[in-house]
Amino acid sequence: CTFTTKAHRIQTRYDDLRLQNMRRERDKMLDPTFPGMFVDTVLRGLLENPAFVDPRHAMTFWSRPPSHIKDIVKQVQEKLSEFCPKIWVAPLSALHLSVVEVVHSISAEELSTYVSKIRPILDELIPMPGHFPTRLTKPILLFSVAGLALSFLPEDTEEYTYHHLRRDLFDMISSTGVKLSPRYVALTAHITLARFISNDDFENDGCVDHDRVQAWLSVIDNINAWLKSFWEGEKSHLAEWSVDNVECRVGTNWYGGGHSLNPDE
């Protein structure tokens, strides 16, 4: 079928990009001059000081993962924390897939302008995934010097894929006159699982322990082999996610915060 061929091309493109990203990040970490992981100082400030304020406001259309995906996330986070006990893992209640990020890192005052333009069409935007549910599959643990995420691919047996859902949401939002300014312009479908708030787990006497970094990559490889066993075996259904919900999240939502904007607010 023509649509199957197109869907397969979409899936292949998503997969190529995530594999390219991992090769790039692996090369960074294995470089003898690697200075250490990127520490999220804002997140660390929030965790260490109750009075700390994150000034970055955003608007994102989120989808929350179902319980069976949360179960996978929990097991992956436990494996990561066993090796890297000082890593920050995202609470299961905060897990989300950024289907379309409208804007990020702006002030509360600037955000109000976006809210006023988007609110009139929320009753059209929010039901869309329910009318046209799409599936994500084949999760792997995507890693970088900043953190880790569970990365999915659009199902390649659907005529209307997750990529089409993103496109249509993007077009509807753009029709309001809003200029979208997302952080991620590449094709991606991921939920953030963990971020670095310290390099203590990768240092020895204040210097990067390169053997430790290499061991970290081995942990990730083992996790990915474990994940692959789901979507290549009898438990393949446990690796699939039907994206059938979305919410408009606004505020300081970088780490799962903010609040959901409703059409009747």
CA–CA separation, 156 and 166 (whole Å): 15
CA–CA separation, 201 and 92 (whole Å): 23
Assess contact for 204 and 100: CB atoms under 8 A.
Answer: no
Q: pTM of the entire structure? A: 0.93
CA angle in degrees (0–180, nearest 5) for 199-209-18: 70
Residue spans of beta strands (DSSP E) within 182-252: 190-195, 203-204, 207-208, 241-243, 247-251
Instruction: Give pLDDT tens digits along the chain (265 positions).
Output: 566 688 999 999 999 999 999 999 999 999 999 999 999 999 999 999 989 999 999 999 999 999 999 999 999 999 999 999 999 999 999 999 999 999 888 899 998 999 999 999 999 999 999 998 899 999 999 999 999 999 999 999 999 999 999 999 999 999 988 887 777 766 889 999 999 999 999 999 889 999 999 999 999 999 999 999 888 877 778 889 999 999 999 999 889 888 998 876 6
